[in-house]
Amino acid sequence: MRIKRLFAVPALFVTLTLSAQDYFNHMDLGISVSSTGIGADIAMPVGDYVRLRTGFTYMPKFTFTSNFGVDFMGDVSSDKLRRMKDMMSNFMGKSMQDNIDVQMTPKWAQFKFLVDIMPFKNNKHWNVTLGFYAGPSTIGEAVNDPSGNTTLVGVNMYNNMYIKACKGEPMFRYEDSNGNMHSFDIDGLGDKLAETRMMGAHVGYFPDGSKAVMVPDKNNQVNAELTVSKIRPYIGIGYTTALSRDHRFNMTIDAGAMFMGGSPHVYVDNVYRVNAADDYDMISWDQAKFDETGNVDEAWVKQTPQRIDLTRDVTDIPGKVGDMVSTVKKFKCWPVLSITFSHRLY
């Protein structure tokens, strides 16, 4: 009995190997070009009616440009905004622009697993495909074009000077060689600044009618992220034809849709809510909280800048950014058209 069991193990292994050869009787290595990028995959048949494909796709890096305007966070005349921008341009020695260009770059690197079903007994050219793509949720990023660095630095400098003007602090401080601190002002500058508001980029309106305004971060940059679901189901059809008489070289054309898990999200940081319905003053110094040393407690801003989704949290986004967000919201699924050239390894 023990001897029979001993021989039964290799016999079972041989049986499973022969059975596997009947189902996985060859393997194809393919290179693809598609609307999801360039990629590579391995395909193996499972019986006569099913083929498994797995691999990856990668979208080569390229950029396209959009822009948004720079304005005040309150109802201040455009003429006053122009004069403040001119003042900062003279101060820095470089011109502040009315718009900031942003460069948007796709970041698609995806794993794919597809199941081809060939429903026709005597025609193995056509197939229906089910499966999924998977990858990082962030599929695109946008950052300000370097040409806008001067403007963003100018906005942050202006905002810092505006804060000091509202607090009644001297504009400039420096330390001499003896370690003594000195400060000085420019006559009339603080009064002029206090009559204005913070500078930022208008990026839409919240549902309650308040204005969404974005400011540069501490590194003088603005950026955005485009995100979707990490798992993206796919459905499509395909057609395979031989490129050689021995059928070792083949071409497959696929057409289908990759579902993104609803509308994509476009996230931006450092956004303030400006309530246009009230006599808005972001820095209400008469109501500010002070600590024991007399310094403003926690921060000079009455609210914390937030991260918002431009596709869901705000409406009426101005400029080219608004056009881009409107287009992105429509892509709940991504059209996939691909051509794969494959070689049979065995």
Residues 6+ apart with CB under 8 A from 244: none
Cβ-in-10-Å burial (0-12, 13-18, 19+) of 142 comes to buried
pLDDT number for residue 22: 54
Low-confidence ranges of the chain (pLDDT < 50): 3-4, 6-7, 9-20, 277-301
Residues 6+ apart with CB under 8 A from 88: 96, 154, 157, 158
pLDDT number for residue 23: 57
Q: How many CB atoms lie within 10 A of CB 43?
A: 22
Q: What is the CA radius of gyration of the chain?
A: 31
**Please, where are the H alpha helices in the chain?**
2-23, 78-92, 149-167, 189-194, 319-329
pLDDT number for residue 272: 82
Task: In whole angstroms, give the CA distance from residue 340 to residue 112.
Answer: 14
Helices 149-167 and 78-92 cross at an angle (nearest 10°) of 110
Interior angle at CA 125, CA 120 and CA 127, nearest 5:
65
Segment 138-187, tens digit of pLDDT:
999 989 888 888 888 888 888 888 877 777 788 888 788 888 888 877 77
Give backbone dihedrals phi and psi of 248, rounded to 5 degrees, phi first: -85, -20
Quick one: tokens of 233?
Answer: 């189901």
Q: 82-86 long-range CB contacts below 8 Å, 24 or more apart?
A: 84/158, 84/193, 84/196, 84/199, 85/154
158, 189 contact by CB (below 8 A):
no
List the end-to-end C-alpha distance of the chain, in Å, as a whole number: 40
pLDDT number for residue 84: 81
pLDDT number for residue 257: 97
